[in-house]
Structure 1
Amino acid sequence: MSSKTVTFYFSVLSPWVYFGGPRFHEIVRDAQATVLYRPIDLLRVFRETGGTPLAAMSPARQAFRARERQRWSDWLGMPVNAKPAHHPVDEALAAQLLMAAEDTHGSAVVWPLAQRMLAGVWVHDLDISQASTLAQMARGEGLDGDALLTQADTPAMRTRFDNGTTEAMAAGVFGVPSFVIDGDLHFGQDRLDFVERALRSH
């Protein structure tokens, strides 16, 4: 196993995770690094660290963020809806499904399924809080969605999700995507150059 490890704190509601995830995974592949996946409750992080959810931002901030989303969409060639129909929603079950998939099939399945969820929110107007939607997404990745949902939808998995969010904030995380390398926090998909540099220095 590579000695280079990145703890990746992310939310399946964030357009910035949607945009940054593919490049991040190219970087870690080229660096032969190991990724520790930590899906977190973004709205809870905002509440507890002084962040502002999108809907509560001033009109000027909302307008600028919308423009930035479109700029990144154009730059990366990744479509995005200006106003997704189901955002924000409770992402707990989706995150727990990712953890169940990793438990059953290993870490390689996590990101393709997470990116499918993100595209579901930001491109296809799907509601990732719905079990039927999540089961279909898992099947789209060749997984047994119903079995994984049974595994995911338990109090123990909810506790694990909550604990992962607490761990993230203890590491200094206040938004996503966040990347921790050797205890050093990098925040934002526009900081991936620094993530790449940190991995190259190992």
Structure 2
Amino acid sequence: MAHIDYFFSTISPFTYLTGTALAEIAERNGASVTYKPLDIMALFSRTGGTPPKDRHPSRQAYRLQDMERRARRLDKPLNLKPAHWPTNSAPSSYAIIAAQNAGGGDLAGLVHAFGRAVWAEERDIAADDVVRDCLTSAGFDAGLADSGLLEGADTYATNLESAVKEGAFGAPFYIVDSGQCFWGQDRLEDLDLHLAGKL
């Protein structure tokens, strides 16, 4: 069975646009997934990236055009300049880590709920009530927002170190145990073909 380490940020528009497609690809190909939320701004600084606000204006303009095109292709609502972006991604990430450890709900749905909250619903995923609501909507106990915070913080930091060590430099980033790396929501088709032995 193939395994995928999925490095992502809950505030990334391209993580949001991934939706639940990764989980569907993994299920179709009999692969397992470990969800590894991380601090994307810290990853940029560790791997030579630049935060969007510090990029050249032409890069910023292209990013917005690309986001809009991707959203249209995927038929997903997207506010290009959401009210609560950027925001602190730690609370939502800790909740995902706790949910993954607890099991029993829809983890892909939870990740997507956080992305949808930022990019389509104008909600602040650093707010406790939003974190709880996203947990509940994905079939998890809202109390996970208050549990395992120390472990969540440790795992969140470890995920960043693992990303740097394994070669991830953006989000979403998918690393298969075959050694193949795929960066971006627009590389999901390639990941699917790779897992199927066609690429």
TM-score, structure 1 as length reference: 0.91
Specify the SS of the correspondent of 2:123: coil
The aligned counterpart of 1:71 is 69
Counterpart Cα distance in 1 of 2:67 and 2:181: 23
Partner in structure 2 of residue 189 of structure 1? 185
CA contact (8 A) 1:94 1:129 kept: yes
Tell me the secondary structure at the aligned position of residue 97 of structure 1: helix
Match of 2:93 among 92, 95, 99: 95
Judging changes above 3 Å, is the alpha-carbon distance between structure 1 residues 156 and 26 closer, same or farther for their aligned structure 2 residues? closer
Match of 1:177 among 166, 172, 177: 172
1:134 counterpart residue number: 131
Compute the displacement of 1:99 (Å): 0.9
Structure 2 counterpart SS, 1:127: coil
User: Equivalences for 1:36-185 in 2 at 5 Å?
Assistant: 36-106=34-104, 109-145=106-142, 147-152=143-148, 154-181=149-176, 182-185=178-181
User: What RMSD in Å do the two structures reach over aligned CA positions?
Assistant: 1.6
- Asked if structure 2 preserves the Cα contact closer than 8 Å seen for 1:102 and 1:109, the reply is no
Q: What stretches of structure 2 of length at least 5 have no aligned partner? A: none
1:82 alignment partner, SS class: coil
C-alpha separation in 2, matches of 1:142 and 1:195: 27
Residue 36 of structure 1 and its aligned partner are, at CA, apart by 1.4
1:71-94 C-alpha deviation (Å, 9 max, x unpaired): 111111111001011111111111
Larger CA deviation: 50-59 vs 116-125: 50-59
What SS is found at the alignment partner of 2:181?
strand
**SS of 1:28's equivalent?**
helix
The offset of 1:98, in angstroms, is 0.5
Q: How much has 1:125 moved relative to structure 2?
A: 0.9
* Percent of aligned positions that are identical: 29
Task: Write the letter of the residue equivalent to 1:184.
Answer: Q
Matched residues in 1 for 2:141 and 2:184: separation? 32
Structure 1 gaps of 5+ residues are: none
Once superposed, which parts of structure 1, at least 4 consecutive aligned residues long, lie more than 4 Å away?
A: none
Amino acid at match of 1:49: T
Structure 1 position 47, deviation (Å): 1.4
TM-score normalised according to structure 2 size: 0.93
